[in-house]
């Protein structure tokens, strides 16, 4: 599939017409049902006519991108995601555009949004949570090895593939980094103390977010959630971490979360150590695929 769906090379052509032929256009696809809608457009299931490959086509409106001043962010997202190859990262095969819209050709994740699954079940079992957390740790180790920080790991940015495998789908806040950064970005409940305090941050922000996600998988809500934003900020700054008595969660799971949600960035549990943690070893499916039942 990868070869069939790669962006067609823009080779130097002797005429404008010859160059034009090598680009994707909307007529290359049969458009199917809508999969979802976002701030800047819609996502549809689509079939590439020539190869019969099913993809997700994300349609973004240029006017809205310009109005929100995120064109640069989109370019960076495309540049980063199109170069990533990992089973737990959604593939971006290519893109094209017309006068009004930009189209991203993405891998189709047949089982949909993780966020909807979490809403349906309220919280996940330890087996399911550990399988997902281990998968994401492996994907983030891969990203960090390529000097990419994701910076916005949360249920809304994760999809489930046809086999039940988790995929990081949105790289809107990701950056290529060779130095520490200061931009505050991401989602409040998932922000680490260093971002809340506008301090420099590095790849360890993803360890924190993964810790928040693990907590939300097991308890059904992020740990520092509060009615007022100011209270959430305060709880994050103080790492006011509490474990409710219900649902019942194992001591090993709480230990893992406690080792990830640490204010001192240098003391957060490294992702390769996370994969060796007893809770992960005992609960995560080694295949990285969660199978119900």
Q: Do you find a cis peptide bond into 247, omega within 30 degrees of 0?
A: yes
Told to judge if 170 belongs to the known catalytic residues of this protein, a careful annotator would answer: no
Beta-bridged to residue 29, according to DSSP, are: 48
Residue 92's φ and ψ, nearest 5 degrees, are -110, 110
Interior/surface letters 120-129, b for 16+ CB within 10 angstroms, e for the rest: eeebbebebb
Q: Which of 28, 30, 98, 152 is catalytic?
A: 152
Contact 265/239 with Cβ under 8 angstroms?
no
- Calpha distance 220→290 (Å, rounded): 18
Query: Degrees (nearest 5) of the Cα angle 209, 214, 220?
Result: 110
Q: Sign of dihedral through CA atoms 267, 268, 274, 280?
A: positive
Burial class for 74, CB neighbours closer than 10 Å (0-12, 13-18, 19+)? middle
Residues annotated catalytic, as ranges: 152
């Amino acid at each position: 599939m990868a070869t069939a769906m790669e962006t067609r090379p823009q080779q130097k052509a002797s005429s404008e017409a010859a160059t034009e032929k090598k680009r994707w256009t909307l007529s290359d696809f049969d458009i199917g049902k809508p999969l979802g809608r976002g701030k800047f457009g819609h996502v549809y299931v689509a079939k590439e006519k020539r190869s019969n490959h099913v993809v997700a086509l994300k349609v973004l409106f240029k006017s809205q991108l310009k109005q929100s001043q995120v064109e640069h962010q989109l370019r960076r997202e495309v540049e980063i995601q199109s170069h990533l190859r990992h089973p737990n990262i959604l593939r971006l095969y290519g893109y094209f555009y017309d006068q009004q819209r930009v189209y991203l050709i993405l891998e189709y994740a047949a089982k949909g949004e993780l966020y909807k699954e979490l809403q349906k079940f309220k919280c996940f079992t330890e087996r399911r949570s550990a399988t997902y957390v281990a998968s994401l740790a492996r994907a983030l180790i891969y990203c960090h090895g390529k000097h990419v920080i994701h910076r916005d790991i949360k249920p809304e940015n994760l999809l489930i593939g046809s086999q039940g495998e988790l995929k990081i789908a949105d790289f809107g806040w990701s950056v290529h980094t060779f130095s520490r950064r200061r931009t505050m970005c991401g989602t409040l409940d998932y922000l680490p103390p260093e971002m809340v305090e506008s301090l420099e941050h590095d790849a360890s922000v993803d360890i924190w977010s993964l810790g928040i996600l693990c907590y939300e998988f097991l308890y059904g809500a992020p740990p520092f959630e509060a009615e007022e934003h100011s209270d959430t900020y305060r709880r994050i700054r103080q790492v006011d971490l509490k474990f409710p008595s219900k649902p019942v969660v194992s001591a090993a799971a709480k230990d893992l979360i406690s080792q990830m949600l640490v204010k001192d960035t240098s003391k957060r549990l490294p992702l390769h150590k996370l994969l060796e943690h007893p809770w992960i070893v005992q609960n995560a499916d080694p295949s990285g695929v969660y199978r119900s039942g």
